[in-house]
Structure 1
C-alpha cells in the first residue's frame, strides 16, 4: 500500500532562468527560454506541492545564476544534517554557498564537501539507504562523504548515458520499498544491483525517459512528474500510486524537471502509512 507523509521542499523561482551555456546534452543555446512560461510552470509546480499539503521554502534567486532554479543540486539533506554541494561545472559553483547559507538559516548543520557532488541530483534517500550515482557529475569519493555525513548505508550506481547525467534523471524513489528507473541509463553491474534490490520496480521506457519523466517527486503516495510521460503515469497508477502530471517542459530546456527544481528536506524516519491525506487529485 502506498505510504504518504508530509514533506518539506526548497524551491527557487526561475527569475533568471536561461540557457546561456551548454553543460548537458539537453541545453541548446540557440533555443531561447521563454522565461514567462518557465515562471508559470514553476508556479504551478509549487502550487501543486502546497495543494498536496507540503511546505515549500523559497530560496532567493541570484542574478547571473540561471540554473539556480534547480535546487535539488544544492545539497543532500536528511534530518538536521546536510552535505553541501561542490559543483563540477564552474558556472554553477556560486550556487553552493547560497544553498549552505540558506540551509544554515533553517537550523541545518551543513558539512562542507571535499569531493565533487551535486546534491540530490545524485543522492536519493529511500528511508533505508542512499542510492548514489556517479559517472558524470558526482565522484565516487563523494559516496564516502555522504555515508560518513549521515551514517546510513550507500548503494553506489554508475550512470553511463550522458543524457542521464544525474541519478534523478533516470531514477525516482516512490516510497521506502519501490523505485522507478530507466535501465539503459545504468551500467550492467548497476542494473543487476537495482534488479536484485528492487524486484518490484517500475521500469520506464524510452519515450518517458526522453522527456525526463523519472525526474519526479513522490510523497509516498502522490508522484509529481512530467505531464508528457504518459506511459509512466499509467504504470505508476497501476502500482498503487497517484500520478500528478505537471508541465515543466520549459525547464527541460535546461536539462531539468520537477525533481531538479525541488530540494527535499528529508525526515530521517521512514514515511508513515497513509490513512487520511490530501485530495488525491490535487494539482491535476
Structure 2
C-alpha cells in the first residue's frame, strides 16, 4: 500500500537544531496528582489506568451490552494488573469519567531519557487530559517537551527503543507522521529509524513490532511496506528475527510486555510459543481482547515511566 509518505530515511541526531522544540526547564519533583503508588520501589514503574465505562468502544451496543463490556474489560484489566504487580511497581492514574481518559496509556505520550513527549492527534490537537499527564510526568522527574503543533504523534505505541542498536524505531501511519521521527531525534538526542505501516489493521507500531531483551525482534513483516521490511532486515540479523503468523498478529502477540525472560500477552499460538521458548522466553497469556478494537493490548495498557 502506498500511503503517500516521503522516502523513509533514518534520522541521525543533530544537537544543534532543536530550537523548534519547547521544553519546560522548571520541572519539579513532586507527588503527581491522581496517582496511587503501589509497592516494588526498586523496579522501573509502569503507569496504568483502570478502564471506566466510557473508556471502551461501546458504539452500537445496548445499555445491557455496554455494562457487560465494561465488566469484561475491567476483569481483563485486573488480570493484567495482577500479573504485572508481582514483578513491577505500578503507578495508578485516576480513571475519571471522560471518554478521552483511555486505559491505553501508551497512546498518551512517550517517556524517554527523562523527557515526556505528549501525543498529538490530527491538526495538532492535544489529548483531553494532556495537562494532567504533564503534571504526572513532572512528578516522576520527567521534563515535559513538545513536538511542533503541526506534527501528529501517536505516543509510546509508535516508538520502540532498540537498546542493542541504540535507536528508536518509529511507526509512520495513521497516528504518527514522518516528521515526528526527525523531531524525536533532535528532542531526545538519539537516532531514529522510521518504518511505514502498510496494513490498515495495524495502525500503531507496537501492534506488529516488538523488541525483546537480547535484541530479539518479534514482528509481523506484512504490516510494513517493502522498503521498511528491507530496512529492518538490514539492521537486525535473521537469527534474531521471529516473524509471527497473521493469526498471532491479529491476536496482538506483538503487543507484549517483557518482564525479563517472560512475555505477557493476550494469546500466542503453540508454534510461536515454541519459537519464543527456543529464544529463551516464556509466554504468560492473559485475555485482553476487550481492548483490541481500540488498537491496543498488554503493552498499550502499561506505560513504562522509569
TM-score (norm 2): 0.77
How far has the Cα of 1:20 moved from its partner? Answer: 4.7
Q: Which residue of 2 aligns with 1:111?
A: 145
The change in CA–CA distance for 1:228 and 1:201 in structure 2 (over 3 A counts) is closer
Q: TM-score, normalised by structure 1?
A: 0.82
- Report the alpha carbon displacement of residue 29 of structure 1 after superposing the two structures with TM: 6.4
Q: What whole-Å deviation, never above 9, does each CA across 1:24-64 have from its counterpart, x for those lacking one?
A: xxxx768856111111111111111121x211111112312
Q: Per the alignment, do residues 196 and 99 of structure 1 end up closer, same or farther by CA in structure 2, a change over 3 Å counting?
A: same
Structure 1 position 251, deviation (Å): 1.3
Q: Which moved more, 1:202-211 or 1:231-240?
A: 231-240
2: CA distance between counterparts of 1:40 and 1:144? 40
Q: Aligned partners of 1:193 and 1:218: how far apart in 2?
A: 24
Equivalent positions of 1:233-272 (< 5 A) are: 233-266=273-306
Query: 2:200 matched to which residue of 1?
Result: 162
CA RMSD between the two structures? 2.4
Which structure would you say has the larger RCO, counting Cα contacts within 8 Å and 6 or more residues apart? 1
Q: 2:50 aligns with which of 1, 13, 24?
A: 13
Matching residue of 2:9: none
Structure 1 spans left out of the alignment, 5+ residues? 22-27, 267-284
1:129, distance to aligned residue in structure 2 (A)? 1.2
Distance 1:229 1:94 in 2: 38
Which residue in 2 is equivalent to 1:214? 254
Q: How does 1:188-203 map to 2 (within 5 A)?
A: 188-199=226-237, 200-203=240-243
Structure 2 residue runs without a partner (length 5+): 1-41
**Counterpart contact for 1:174–1:180, Cα < 8 Å:** yes
